[in-house]
Amino acid sequence: ARPLRIAPSILSADFARLGNEIEAIVDAGADYIHVDVMDGHFVPNISFGAPVMKSVRGLTDAVFDVHLMIAPADPYLADFAAGGADIITVHAEAGPHLHRSLQAIRALGSKAGVALNPATPVAAIEHVIDLCDLVLVMSVNPGFGGQSFIPQSLDKIRQARALIGGRDIDLEVDGGISAENAGAIVAAGANVLVAGSAIYGGNDPATYAGRIKAIRDA
């Protein structure tokens, strides 16, 4: 099994101190930095784009895990790869040519991820699984931090785990994760846990290490 990775989402960071928030979360034990990019079109919210990511990329060697909630995604893949995204994840629902998008990400030198909204079946990625380095099961409807985990996601995580089988692919889950449900999510087969509000809530760096540890230990 692949190692457990904790991926704090900087969507819940204090953007006025974004660089400090990233350095603090790495010091606190984060494995991946989860970067939520929203366009106000694919999802009903706007966050930030490649220039913001690029400006903080140099602060740490940590893996930058970029979650693109944008449609179309293809015109922006090169900007994120050039800006230092280690993993670029596109949504299966974001365009008609998912196969091409995943090929393009790998051709740019990043790892390729595919995300599934709560309503999208795992079968939607059956024919592209060998182009994936990461599968992201959304456990909330994307667009906002601080929402509740959708319980049916556990069954879907098990289905995604079965599809991945022995392949060298991360299984990431995103939305509503806390120390209370992290154990069940990992038991269902996930190895990368995204958490925004459960880690950055309150924006007090003194709490970050304890919050990451609570999720890891769960």
**With binding defined as CB under 5 A, does residue 36 bind Zn ion?**
yes
86 carries an active-site annotation: no
Please pick, among 31, 36, 39, 133, the residue that the annotation labels catalytic: 36
CA-CA distance, 174 to 52, in Å (whole number)? 21
Binding residue (CB under 6 A) for ligand DX5 from 31, 142, 161, 185: 142
3-state secondary structure of 179: coil
Candidate list 14, 74, 174, 204, residue with the active-site label: 174
**117, interface contact from Zn ion, ligand DX5, none, CB < 5-8 Å by kind:** none
Q: Is 99 annotated as a binding residue?
A: no
Residue 8: asked if its preceding bond is cis (omega within 30°), the reply is no
48 assigned to a ligand binding site: no
Query: SS3 string of 51-79?
Result: HHHHHHHCCCCCEEEEEEECCCCHHHHHH
Query: 155 in helix, strand or coil?
Result: helix
Q: Which residues bind ligand DX5 (CB under 6 A)?
A: 9, 11-12, 34, 36, 67, 140, 142-147, 174-177, 194-198
Active site (catalytic) residues: 36, 174
Binding residues for a divalent metal cation: 34, 36, 67, 174
